[in-house]
Amino acid sequence: MNGRCLCGHVSFTLRETPEGVVICRCADCRRWSGNAWASVSVRLEALEVRGAPVWFRSSAYARRGFCGGCGASLFWQPVTEDTAGGERIAVSAGALDLPTGVSVLREEGEAADFQQAGPLPAEPRQLTGRCLCGGVTGRLAGPAGAVEACHCIQCRRMTGHHSASFGPVTDLVLSGHTLRCHATQTGHWKFCGTCGSSIGFSRGEETWLDAGFIDPPTGGRLTAHIFTAFKGDYYRIMDGLPQAAER
């Protein structure tokens, strides 16, 4: 199996077939991916990486690897001495080329407000956000409101699963010297150059923010799925929300 980041600076080959995909919605994976991070676990020696990921020590026991060129969330690796059964590494499922031939094994972490459907709330009136390392912060008027899940190949390679964003936003103030931008034909992808957190997407004057960047509660609700014609093959969309094959 092969995979790569959004810009192609980092690519990889898996020399074994993983058991399946774990979707993680923990607070760290939400901030890092902008929504949820999906991964497959393989033995370290079964992973061949081309290009150099940037590593961020995200906790006492693990580090996260991302592409410094585009910010794609690619690898999660334990750094403790406890490696009974051999060293393993988690690899982004969204970065895998299709077909992957695998399916979801389990989901971890509690879903945030924006990952669920329901009536749109009027609160909170102010939103703050930050990346995983805290290098990039943001504030804007709330609530986040309608959140769309985008299943396009760019969002999948960038986030590791699919994106969940809201906008275009007004009165957004983003600050931090580690804010980076990756330009593509469709627009500019914003990410943190230190931790690799996905922050948002801009096209012209308009910006959409990744809901995972916002401190909860976001006041966001999932309202639709777009570009489902390009979704990954390892998951199914079963929440009953409207789906658009493209936009």
For Zn ion, the binding residue among 91, 95, 152, 164 (CB under 5 A) is 152
5 binds Zn ion (CB under 5 A): yes
Give the whole-angstrom CA distance, residue 218 versus residue 115.
Answer: 10
Comparing CA positions, the residue from 187, 188, 192, 190 lying closest to residue 177 is 192
Q: In the complex with Zn ion, which residue's Cβ is closer, 25 or 156?
A: 156
CB 58 → Zn ion: shortest distance, Å?
10
Q: In the complex with Zn ion, which residue's Cβ is closer, 34 or 219?
A: 34
135 binds Zn ion (CB under 5 A): yes
For Zn ion, the binding residue among 131, 144, 209, 211 (CB under 5 A) is 131
Strand partners for 77: 63
194 binds Zn ion (CB under 5 A): yes
Give the whole-angstrom CA distance, residue 68 versus residue 8.
Answer: 11
Comparing CA positions, the residue from 189, 158, 193 lying closest to residue 176 is 193
Q: Is the Cβ–Cβ distance between 219 and 129 less than 8 Å?
A: no
Q: In the complex with Zn ion, which residue's Cβ is closer, 8 or 124?
A: 8
How many residues sit close enough to Zn ion to count as binding (CB under 5 A)?
Answer: 16
Among positions 69-88, residues that touch Zn ion (CB under 5 A) are 69-70
CB 186 → Zn ion: shortest distance, Å?
8
What's the sign of the alpha-carbon dihedral 240, 107, 246, 220?
A: positive
Give the whole-angstrom CA distance, residue 41 versus residue 4.
Answer: 16
Query: Contact positions toward Zn ion, by CB under 5 A?
Result: 5, 7, 9, 67, 69-70, 131, 133, 135, 150, 152, 155, 192, 194-195, 197
